[in-house]
Amino acid sequence: MTKSVLIEKITEKVKDINLSRKQTEIVVETVFDSIKSSLANGEKVEIRGFGNFRLRQRKPRKARNPKTGESVEVPAKRVPFFKVGKELKEMVNMG
């Protein structure tokens, strides 16, 4: 599902409260921006029944350039990680 399809689905679902597509798009963008900025600040984002977004620290390591075979140093970095919530995990495994 793309972001635009998500916006369309939400717009259809809330049509009885007269939320326009543009207003729905602003809400969806705000949610995503809030998650991104929280992660950028090192904060955890927990959405009960769905899952948790957090950062994991990757250690520095040696890797190999597949094109040249040359060994390269990969620096330590923080990477986003999503842990699925129990409710979502059960829903996915039912189907």
Query: Which of 9, 83, 11, 2 minimizes the C-alpha distance to 48?
Result: 83
Angle between helices 3-13 and 21-40 (to 10 degrees): 130
The pLDDT value given to residue 95:
61
- Phi/psi of residue 2, nearest 5 degrees: -90, 165
Q: 17-59, pLDDT tens digit by residue?
A: 888 999 999 999 999 999 999 999 999 999 999 999 999 999 9
The pLDDT value given to residue 45:
97
Look at the pTM and tell me if it is higher than 0.95. no
pLDDT of residue 79 exceeding 90: yes
pLDDT of residue 82 exceeding 90: yes
